[in-house]
Structure 1
Amino acid sequence: MGWFCKNGKRLVWLLLLMPLLVQGADVPPVSQRAEESADLRVGNRLVITFRATLLGETPVQRAHRAESVIHDALESGEALIVSVDSIQNSYLILLGYSRAFIVSPDDVEAPGGSVRAAAEQAAQNLRRVVDEGLEARSLRYLLTATAFAAAATVIFALLVRGAGYLRRRILDRLPVLMSHHEHRLQVGRTRLLDRRYLYYLLGRLVWLVYWLLVFLLCYQWLSFVLSRFPYTRPWGESLNVHLLDLARYLLNGVLDAMPGLVVAFCIIFIARAISGFSRHILERLARPGNLKWLTQETLQPTTRLMSLAIWLFAIVMAYPYLPGAGTEAFKGVSVLLGLMISLGASSVVGQAASGLILTYARTLRAGEFVRIGEHEGTVTEVGVFNTTIRTGLGEVLTLPNSMITGSVTKNYSRAVQGAGYIVDTVVTIGYDTPWRQVEAMLVEAARRTDGILDRPAPQVFQTALSDFYPEYRLVAQAIPSEPRPRAELLSVLHANIQDVFNQYGVQIMSPHYLGDPQGEKLVPRDKWYAAPASPSDVSNQEVNR
């Protein structure tokens, strides 16, 4: 008798369902998964989602029937106990002595999932529905919930007012704090940000934090108030779940990214240490007697190239460990940057390669006087992409390095003795003027010019014997940029040449003949040493030659 009282409900339901559960193999199955599903909601709470057609009832019909049974049981006002009984591979959910619904294997969301776990969860949801139904009918509970909601509203209003008061206090104190700490935002004597712009940025940041705090307070207040009442409790619980899921998602993202970030930072620190170590090694190797190609001039570009290579290798190594490196967005940005660099950097790479050639070939140096094509001046800077020269007229020319490597460069400072640069000029005089006199006059004009050095002494070369005149080339060495630029120095030299030639009665003219001259164009022997030439000076010049 005791056994029958304890298991009477199960025997009754077994007898009712036995004809359908023990049919032959040729009979269709009891349940089958339907294409559409139906939610069973009671009192705004989801109890279970039906996905299978069971005993000829579709999921929608099962949901309507179970909802009617549960509402009738709740309206009775009796103390209801929710229990779970197993029937072969399905589970029967009982509400008191009434069948609420059946959970079949096809009702489980994931194929192959635990049917018992799904049934227990549905029973737990149904118990909460029963409890909330009792709470909704209790005046005392509703009054208590209303009091809690009112208290939460008052606390919420006080917190919002406190946040507003704190925001105003921070904005009032912000100018004073900025005046005390603005020196920390300087590099040397240069301010990184003006005070008014900094005040605007910090004000926007305080405004953002304030409204974020107000939003969180509103969210928590709404979730708390909704959770106090039975009908709106599922909404409040869903708000809490969404907030917790968001916080969990963010926290998991941060924790998942931490190992990769640690590895990336380790790679960066190692690259920084290797870069510093290589800089010290290159400084030692640049000392005289170690490497011919590594000098104080090439030390700086070599150090930069070495650091660039190390940092590029470090970035390539650290790239896979960065958060989001495997996402499609990150890959798309990488492809876009690579395409932009490949399309627009060809000329830049060519200029940089030309700059390296000039640097390591030591074709030009800062301070040297050179002639590049039609441009002539003093080199002020040899950069990676461009070279800057300053002409004698005060013009500053910026020449691409590729143009310099593709043209002939004359260096007037490289072959001189000591500091300075070469000054030269060409004069053509007829054959009837003694060449010794012409050379002596050119040397005297050079000695009269301030800025031309006495040692090495100026020299005159006869570079050509043309049909109508010989060509004389005066070559001297000048002091760099003192007392005047090369253009002014040449102008003074040319003026002195004219003065000297006029002083000794020699005209500067290059004759051209259309016919035979009346007299022979030659110099008598008694005029070979016409002033200012002297036999001693000429013999010394011949010995030097």
Structure 2
Amino acid sequence: MGRSSLEWGRGLFWVLWLAMSAVAQAADEVALITAEPAELKLANRSIFVFHATLLGETPEVRATRARGVISEALDASEHPEVRIDPIRDSYLVLIGDRRAFIISPKDLTAVDGSVRQAAEEVAQRLHLVVEESKEARNVRFLLTAGGLTAVATLIYLALLRLIYRGKAWALAWLPKQVRKRTGDLKVGFAQLLDVSNIYPLLRRLLGLVYWALVFLLTYEWLTFVLQRFPYTRPWGESLNQYLVDLARYLLDAVVGAFPGLTIALLIFFIARGLSAFCKSMLERLSRPGTISWLNRETLLPTTRLTSLIIWLFALAMAYPYLPGANTNAFKGLSVLIGLMISLGASSVVGQAAAGLILTYTRTLRPGEYVRIGEYEGTVTELGTFTTSIRTGLGEVLTLPNSMITGAVTKNYSRVVEGPGYVVDTSVTIGYDTPWRQVEAMLLEAARRTPGVSPEPHPRVFQTKLSDFYPEYRLVAQAVPSEPVSRAELLSLLHANIQDVFNEYGVQIMSPHYLGDPVQEKWVPKDNWYAAPARDSSAKHESSAKDGEPG
């Protein structure tokens, strides 16, 4: 009797379906555009998502109606039967003798598959809801779930305590092992690793491992507890599935990146070998008589430049094989880094180019005494971006290479014979003093100055004939051992020039000529050691005598 009533109901529904489908089709098509999808959720478990408006009912109405029918069926029967029944191109989902809802092709998305497959999956979920509803009403089942939860919680707390005690034991054991192992790592008497730096790092790593274990243990405990009860079981399954999906994703990423990473490492190993080969070849080519521009001074920058080109080329070749190189995030980061380099490193590139120009044109060399603009001193370091010079006053100046290439550079060491530099000074004496006498006095002052090399001979040049006086320039060669020697040498040379000119009664003054002074402007020899110079000179002579061997 019940079976025939069901068949009669199905036939009546079929007739109504055919009659109403033509009328509601237009309305359904319009409503399909504006209706929002609605999810059918029972006992905290998702059953199906309605997308289409069917027979004038929006997805929200269909979901509400299905929820009410299923709830009534669960209240009426402890274990109602769930089945599906095809009707035209759709499927009826039946619970007991009642129609729960209809699955239409318009309800499916591109990833849902066929209508039949979707209906079977929905029936399985609905059957699971029926089973969980039965479990939720079973007191014995709930008591068993509560007991399992209590046992799992006790085990969880015990494991947490065990992990904490393991961390404390490791913190007490690590310092001894670190001191024992690092003491063996020595080069000569120098220890490679410092315990004070290693122990904090190991402590942080141990803390990271500890919190990772606590998080993983808490995650698994929560997943287990949630899965014990019917209502929270979907949450536990989603947590467990998320962890499994995450592990699968990481494993797939590692396996997928392994071939490309292998190729990238191979490219880097080839670049390393090529860089070592080029370095060895450049060292052989830098020997005297091989290549004129490649010598001891240009070998190091040439080697670095060659290695930089090789590694940049290797990076460009290995870039497509690096993990994540084709992702939008990696591409965006590459564009950002390139933009930052373009905007912020233009001056750096200019400095580096200027450094290469100075190196390969051999404008400067370490140890040479030069004058760059208003700065003067000995070149101590010729770098890629800056050049350091040490003045005779004990100052160390760091000059940008771009400034050096844009300024006039005087090199006092390049034209001398052997190590050393050129020392020069200028004086202006009136036309009433014979020029031959002035040259002789300047040469005499150079001869008296210790540190001025007699070979090649010092020379005097008349560089300018001004309105009121000629200008004389004394040029000699010195061989200093330190940059400060040039400052001392110039000081001694200037002192001897004054002494010689005073001995011969020649005044060193170059005013605009208005008339001869009433008293000549020179210092008699009797006044050379006027106080307090006399006292300091006597002390100097006394200390010199004390230092002489007996």
Report the TM-score, using the length of structure 2 for normalisation. 0.78
Partner amino acid for 1:15? G
User: What is residue 272 of structure 2 aligned with on the other side?
Assistant: 272
**Alpha carbons of 1:489 and 1:116: their partners in 2 closer, same or farther (altered >3 Å)?**
same
User: What is residue 352 of structure 2 aligned with on the other side?
Assistant: 352
Q: Is the 8 A contact 1:387 1:401 kept in 2?
A: yes
User: What is residue 419 of structure 2 aligned with on the other side?
Assistant: 419
User: What is residue 135 of structure 1 aligned with on the other side?
Assistant: 135
Cα deviation, 1:39-86, whole Å, max 9, x if unaligned, reads 444443333333444455554554455445444544455664433332
User: What is residue 543 of structure 2 aligned with on the other side?
Assistant: none
User: What is residue 455 of structure 1 aligned with on the other side?
Assistant: 455
Local SS of the residue matching 1:291 = coil
- The question of 1:19 aligning with 2:15 is answered yes
Q: Is the 8 A contact 2:370 2:376 kept in 1?
A: yes
223-232 or 186-195, which moves further after superposition?
186-195
CA shift for structure 1 position 142: 3.4
295-304 or 240-249, which moves further after superposition?
240-249
CA distance in 2, matches of 1:99, 1:467: 123
CA distance in 2, matches of 1:55, 1:473: 113
CA distance in 2, matches of 1:97, 1:497: 128
Cα deviation, 1:204-230, whole Å, max 9, x if unaligned, reads 443333233222222211221221222
Partner amino acid for 1:115? V
CA distance in 2, matches of 1:482, 1:149: 84
45-54 or 152-161, which moves further after superposition?
45-54
User: What is residue 215 of structure 1 aligned with on the other side?
Assistant: 215
CA shift for structure 1 position 121: 0.6
CA shift for structure 1 position 370: 2.0
User: What is residue 537 of structure 1 aligned with on the other side?
Assistant: none
CA shift for structure 1 position 23: 4.8
Cα deviation, 1:215-273, whole Å, max 9, x if unaligned, reads 22222112212212223322222222232233334444444444444444344333333
- The question of 1:287 aligning with 2:319 is answered no
Cα deviation, 1:307-365, whole Å, max 9, x if unaligned, reads 22333333344444444445555455444444443334333333333222221111111
Alignment of 1:179-198 (within 5 A): 179-182=179-182, 195=196
CA distance in 1, matches of 2:112, 2:77: 38
Local SS of the residue matching 2:83 = strand
Q: Is the 8 A contact 1:372 1:407 kept in 2?
A: yes
Local SS of the residue matching 1:447 = helix
User: What is residue 313 of structure 1 aligned with on the other side?
Assistant: 313
CA shift for structure 1 position 107: 2.9
Partner amino acid for 2:104? S
CA shift for structure 1 position 10: 8.1
Q: Is the 8 A contact 1:286 1:295 kept in 2?
A: yes
User: What is residue 114 of structure 1 aligned with on the other side?
Assistant: 114
Report the TM-score, using the length of structure 1 for normalisation. 0.79
Q: Is the 8 A contact 1:227 1:237 kept in 2?
A: yes
96-105 or 505-514, which moves further after superposition?
505-514
CA distance in 2, matches of 1:471, 1:368: 28
Cα deviation, 1:5-37, whole Å, max 9, x if unaligned, reads 9x9798545423331355599554599575144
- Paired-residue identity, %: 61
CA distance in 2, matches of 1:270, 1:74: 71
Q: Is the 8 A contact 2:79 2:131 kept in 1?
A: no
CA distance in 1, matches of 2:471, 2:107: 111
CA shift for structure 1 position 451: 2.0
Alignment of 1:358-373 (within 5 A): 358-373=358-373
Q: Is the 8 A contact 1:185 1:193 kept in 2?
A: no
437-446 or 206-215, which moves further after superposition?
437-446
- The question of 1:303 aligning with 2:299 is answered no
Partner amino acid for 2:506? Q
User: What is residue 537 of structure 2 aligned with on the other side?
Assistant: none
Local SS of the residue matching 2:417 = coil
CA RMSD of aligned residues (A): 4.0
User: What is residue 227 of structure 2 aligned with on the other side?
Assistant: 227
Q: Is the 8 A contact 2:6 2:97 kept in 1?
A: no
CA distance in 1, matches of 2:471, 2:66: 121
CA shift for structure 1 position 178: 3.5
Q: Is the 8 A contact 1:456 1:477 kept in 2?
A: yes
Q: Is the 8 A contact 1:451 1:483 kept in 2?
A: no
CA distance in 2, matches of 1:151, 1:459: 105
CA shift for structure 1 position 119: 0.9
CA shift for structure 1 position 463: 5.2
Alignment of 1:77-96 (within 5 A): 77=77, 80-96=80-96
CA shift for structure 1 position 124: 0.9
Local SS of the residue matching 1:384 = coil
Q: Is the 8 A contact 2:458 2:474 kept in 1?
A: yes
**Alpha carbons of 1:168 and 1:464: their partners in 2 closer, same or farther (altered >3 Å)?**
closer
CA shift for structure 1 position 466: 6.9
**Alpha carbons of 1:354 and 1:190: their partners in 2 closer, same or farther (altered >3 Å)?**
farther
Partner amino acid for 1:220? E
**Alpha carbons of 1:117 and 1:450: their partners in 2 closer, same or farther (altered >3 Å)?**
same
484-493 or 494-503, which moves further after superposition?
494-503
339-348 or 211-220, which moves further after superposition?
339-348
CA distance in 1, matches of 2:285, 2:239: 67
Count of aligned pairs between the two proteins: 510
CA distance in 2, matches of 1:482, 1:334: 49
User: What is residue 379 of structure 1 aligned with on the other side?
Assistant: 379
Q: Is the 8 A contact 2:378 2:389 kept in 1?
A: yes
**Alpha carbons of 1:379 and 1:47: their partners in 2 closer, same or farther (altered >3 Å)?**
closer
User: What is residue 507 of structure 1 aligned with on the other side?
Assistant: 506
CA distance in 1, matches of 2:513, 2:146: 125
Q: Is the 8 A contact 1:469 1:510 kept in 2?
A: no
430-439 or 258-267, which moves further after superposition?
430-439
